[in-house]
Amino acid sequence: MVLLAYRHAFRPGELVRLRWDDIDWNTQTLHCRRLKNGIDSVHPLSTRELKFLRRLKKEQTPSRYLFMSERGSPITTDMFRKLVQRLGEVAGFDFALHPHMLRHSAGHVLVSKGVPIRALQLFMGHKQIQNTTKYAQLSQIHSRTFGKIDGDDQEKEPEYPPAQIERITSVLSIITRKESGRENMDIRYLPTSRTIRSCGANNIR
């Protein structure tokens, strides 16, 4: 859930209502149905996402929705919120995490990587481009929180203790495990606590 929420900038409500018929296994794409009268779009699925989804479908009791609880009912936004909050606590963040920060972080990272605003608008499903340009403004304001990117296309975060990095990668291994080959959104760009906090602004949608 965390992987899909971050990679496709899902709002919690968009994530929990994902259905198996939203996936096109032949074209390896995902139909993203947006809330708030947003723009629906089709996103490519990475090799790793497809692997996890196939395993989930095989192990899960047949259902319409991707994410089901142990009781056999669809996972709710409140369940996902509690999951993300718990992951943040175990990872050692000194502030409460909420699911929408994954969406904010995705937008912030893509802007920092040079993705055009118009393309980002379609990716995130914003009906009004004004909601997308806020990410560019936020990126400029907090640009000094990012380290320089080395040849391996990773961010250097000197203020982040190695021990804490290890804790985050172990808890959130689903979104930090390296794999061979590059993907559309390199999820090795895991934001620091300072970046996630800045992405948690209430005026970003």
Spell out the CATH class of 2-199.
mainly alpha
Query: For the segment 90-115, what is each residue's pLDDT rounded down to a tens digit?
Result: 888 888 888 988 888 888 888 888 88
Q: Determine how β-strand 41-44 pairs with β-strand 23-24.
A: unpaired
**Which pTM does this prediction carry?**
0.69
Going from N- to C-terminal start, the domains of the chain cover 2-199
Query: For the segment 146-172, what is each residue's pLDDT rounded down to a tens digit?
Result: 333 333 444 333 333 444 434 433 444
The SS3 call for residue 74 is strand
Q: What is the C-alpha to C-alpha distance for residues 132 and 122, in angstroms, rounded to an integer?
A: 9
